[in-house]
Amino acid sequence: MAGSQDMFDAIVMADERFHGEGFQEGYEEGSSLGILEGRQYGTEHGARIASEIGCYQGFALAWKCLLHSSAGEKDSRKMKVVEALIGMIEKFPYDDPTYDKLHEDLDKIRGKFKQVCSSFSLGNARVEPERSP
């Protein structure tokens, strides 16, 4: 019965070979599609985070300068909060999607920003960290 066993092996091998050839070609095509689709999602997410972080950073850096020029006692407390925010943002790898504490740190930065706003009594002022849709 060795002859028919060889025959079955040959059939199975041919079956796998054809499947494999199709698989190779499909894999290449799928890789290109995956890269494109992934980039679309990635661009959206990266941009959203950078937009928000950039806003906090621009706000803090501008205020640091404005506080420098207007000397006052109350301002030293404000300056402390502003500098704390700047420090947090500087350490934050905003463009690294593999950073495991991305959202955790982002929440902390948001909290610090709210603290800055309240120390400046900016309840009414318009500060939109996220771009308008």
Partner 1 sequence: MSWVAAAPAVRSPGEPGDVFDEEADEVLLARREWRSHMRRRVQEGYRDGVDAGKAAALQQGFNQGFKEGAGVVLNYGLLRGTLSALLSWCHLHGDNSTLISAIYDLLNALGQCEEYVLTHLKSVTPQPQVGDLLDSFEDMGLCHAVPAEEKVDQAQDERLCGTNADLNKNCGKSTPGTDGPQAHAHLEKPSITWILEQTTNLVKQLGVSADVLQHLRQL
- Contact between 6 and partner 1 per CB under 8 A: no
Q: Quick check: 89 and 56 in contact, CB under 8 A? A: yes
Grouping H, G, I as helix, E, B as strand and the rest as coil, residue 1 is coil
- Contact between 36 and partner 1 per CB under 8 A: yes
Count of beta carbons in the 10 Å neighbourhood of residue 66 = 12
The encoded tokens of residue 36 equal 């494109």
Nearer to partner 1, 55 or 79 (CB): 55
- Which amino acid would we find at residue 21? E
Nearer to partner 1, 33 or 77 (CB): 33
- Contact between 35 and partner 1 per CB under 8 A: yes
Listing DSSP states for 68-132 in one string gives HHS--HHHHHHHHHHHHHHHHHHH--TT-TT-TTHHHHHHHHHHHHHHHHHHTT-SSS---SS--
Nearer to partner 1, 9 or 65 (CB): 65
- Contact between 126 and partner 1 per CB under 8 A: yes
* Smallest separation (angstroms) from partner 1 to the CB of 5: 19
- Contact between 84 and partner 1 per CB under 8 A: no
Scanning 1-9, 29-37, 103-111 for contacts with partner 1 by CB under 8 A, the matching segment is: 29-37
Residues that bind partner 1 in the complex, under the rule CB under 8 A: 14-15, 18-47, 49-63, 65-66, 68-69, 94-98, 120-122, 124-129, 131-133
